[in-house]
Every structure is written in C-alpha cells, then in structure tokens.
Structure 1
Amino acid sequence: MKQVFKDILSYNEAFVENKEYLPYQTDSNPNKKLAILTCMDSRLTELLPAALGIKNGDAKTIKNAGGMITSPVGSTIRSLVVSIYAFDIKQVMVIGHDDCGMSHVDNSPLIEKMKERGISKEAFETFDSDKFDTARWLEGFDNVEESVAKTVDAIINHPLISKDVEVRGFVINPNTGKLRVVK
C-alpha cells in the first residue's frame, strides 16, 4: 500500500477515535433542496461551499471533469435525476470555473499518455464505435460560459427532469470565490 493511503488510513483512525465526525452529522436529505453540478478541480473542494455558504447536509454535490453533461444517459444526469426524485431537489446550480483544466483541452496528448501508460489499441477499439468516440468523449470546451449554458440547457431539456426544477448557471473564480451568473 502506498504511503498516501497509509497516511489517510492513520488519520481516519484517529478522526473516528476522537469523534471528530460529530460536527458533520446530518441525514441524507439536503436542507436547501439544492443540487450543485461542478468541476472536480481540487481548488473548489473547500472554496466552493465556503463561497456559497453551503454547510454539510445543505446540498447534493456532483463533480466531474469540467462540470459538464457529456451524455443524456451518463452518471452525471443519473445523479441529478436520483437527487430530484429521491431527495426532493428543487434547484440545480451548474457551476463552472475560470482557469478550468478542461478549457482548450487537447484530447490527443491525453490519448497519447494513456497509450504510454499501457492502454492498448484494442482497448480503444472496444470503445470506439458508431455510438461512441473516445476522442470526442475526452474533449473539453473553449469558453466556460458557453459550456455552463450548454449544460444548463441539457438539464432543462432532459426528458426525465421535471419542469418545476429551477436550473441556473454560474462561473466561480477559483482564487477569490466570486460568483457570476451565466444563465
């Protein structure tokens, strides 16, 4: 086991033993009836909830590369559908961020790195078909506001999303936490 895992497990053992979890206890129903779809960028881990005044138990947070909907049947939209109907979500915030690693991403170097790390040509052929294109799946975006607006539209127009759910788009500055409205 790598040292980082050992360190995490050691910390976790002390965390539980010292009952440091007590301030975080809540149930699974979000207090604010809010779901947030955002990027997995590590700068947002603590900044985003702090900048929004979101506390543990207030919202369902869904993170992926770029905070994007890439498929109408993918895990991101699935998580939103489950949140809406199982946890009575009433509002969805789509929050992109400035200086996102998915902006202007060139999928060619990603694919080359995958090959360098042992992903075979056959593995790519397994996924590449008339219905799925690995290179397109790895694409990013050129403009964060346009990406957020596109994701908001994908959620609003999804056939399994109730029309009474309010969906809005925002961009956050990953340095200051300043939020601006996109849609």
Structure 2
Amino acid sequence: MNMTHVFDEILKHNEAFVANKEYIPYQTDSNPNKKLAILTCMDSRLTELLPAALGIKNGDAKIIKNAGGMITSPVGSTIRSLVVSIYAFDIKQVMIIGHDHCGMSNVDNSPLIETMKERGITKEAFETFDSDDFDTARWLEGFANVEESVAKTVASVVNHPLIAKDVEVRGFVINPSTGELRPVC
C-alpha cells in the first residue's frame, strides 16, 4: 500500500466521520477531568489498550507519547508538555507508563543510524547536531530494563526544577497483550 493511498483512505474515512457526526461522543473541553497526565510509549499496541485498561475516557487525561515513554532531556518537548499540562491544565498527578517488550529496550543505535544514512541522511546532517552538548547516538539509545527506565523517568520529573513538588508522580509498567498494570515506584 503506498503512502498516498493511506492518506486518501484516511481522508475518505474522516469525511464520512464528520458528515455522520460520529465525533459527538468524543466532545469535551481541553481540561482533563481527572487532573491526570500520562507519559507513555508511542507503541501502536497501546493506542486503544492503554486507555481501556486504565478506564480513561476522552477528556480524562493528557496523554503524552514518545519512543519508550522516556525523558531524554530536561528541556525537551516531553518535559515541556508536562510543564504546560501541570500549569495550564491544573494537572495534579502524573503517571509514567512503560511496557513489556518495548521496541526501545536493548536498542542498538548503530543499525538505526546506518538505516538513516541509507535513506539519505548525510554525515553533515549528523555533524550539525553532534556537539559537546548533544550526541545523536546517545539520543537514540534505548534502555536495558523497563522498570529501571520508568524509575529514571519518574526521578527526572520529580527532580525537575520546574515541576511543583505537590504533583504526585508514579511509575508503572503495562503488559501490551493483557493491559495488566504493575506499579514500579
């Protein structure tokens, strides 16, 4: 299936969705009902499973997703999203949710970088980013243990100078097959 076909298929579905007013059950405002933010992985197995397993409905929480559900920088977009959620949307609790069998576990960034080069990313492009303050290879690293990764991310949020101390932050791991949630910290 080529990319244009996927886009066309999505646009056709969207046109019918709007025409049939299928959006009505999802209408809510932007303030999360549960005063909750969730940082989790972008894994496609979690798209519907995670909210269903947590009993989260549209409008209940701010859900922030990235590769591995990790915070890799104290000034990156993930922490920015959490800071904005806390102060603009009155978030009181943050859940960090990793998952078993994550694609970021034991990631070897060398093949990833080679694939980038094969797809046209030049040496100069890498050099543009690599500096004393930034290392592309390190930025693309994963983790060896999901529980340790979750605990490290929780610590990054709890200890961040722009996160209020009255925000409760907890870490969990979800099974991407069953939805079972287990506390980490």
- Quote the offset at 1:156 in angstroms: 0.1
Letter aligned with residue 46 of structure 2: L
Per-residue CA deviations over 1:136-155 (Å, capped at 9, x if unaligned) read: 00000000000000000000
- Quote the offset at 1:101 in angstroms: 0.1
Equivalent pairs counted in the alignment come to: 183
- Quote the offset at 1:13 in angstroms: 0.3
Per-residue CA deviations over 1:58-94 (Å, capped at 9, x if unaligned) read: 0000000000000000000000000000000000000
Which of 157, 161, 167 is the equivalent residue of 1:155? 157
Find the aligned partners of 2:133 and 2:32 in 1 and give their Cα distance.
36
* TM-score, structure 2 as length reference: 0.98
Which of 142, 145, 148 is the equivalent residue of 2:147? 145
Find the aligned partners of 1:119 and 1:126 in 2 and give their Cα distance.
11
Give the percent of matched residue pairs that are identical in Structure 1 and Structure 2: 86
- Report the counterpart of residue 98 of structure 2 in structure 1: 96
Find the aligned partners of 1:87 and 1:106 in 2 and give their Cα distance.
37
RMSD: 0.5
- Report the counterpart of residue 5 of structure 1 in structure 2: 7
* TM-score, structure 1 as length reference: 1.00
- Report the counterpart of residue 16 of structure 1 in structure 2: 18
- Report the counterpart of residue 107 of structure 1 in structure 2: 109
Per-residue CA deviations over 1:26-48 (Å, capped at 9, x if unaligned) read: 00000000000000000000000
Which of 55, 68, 71 is the equivalent residue of 1:53? 55
Which of 77, 80, 93 is the equivalent residue of 1:78? 80
* Structure 1 unaligned spans of 5+: none
Per-residue CA deviations over 1:109-136 (Å, capped at 9, x if unaligned) read: 0000000000000000000110100000
- Quote the offset at 1:105 in angstroms: 0.2
* Structure 2 unaligned spans of 5+: none
Find the aligned partners of 1:128 and 1:56 in 2 and give their Cα distance.
40
Which of 25, 34, 37 is the equivalent residue of 1:32? 34
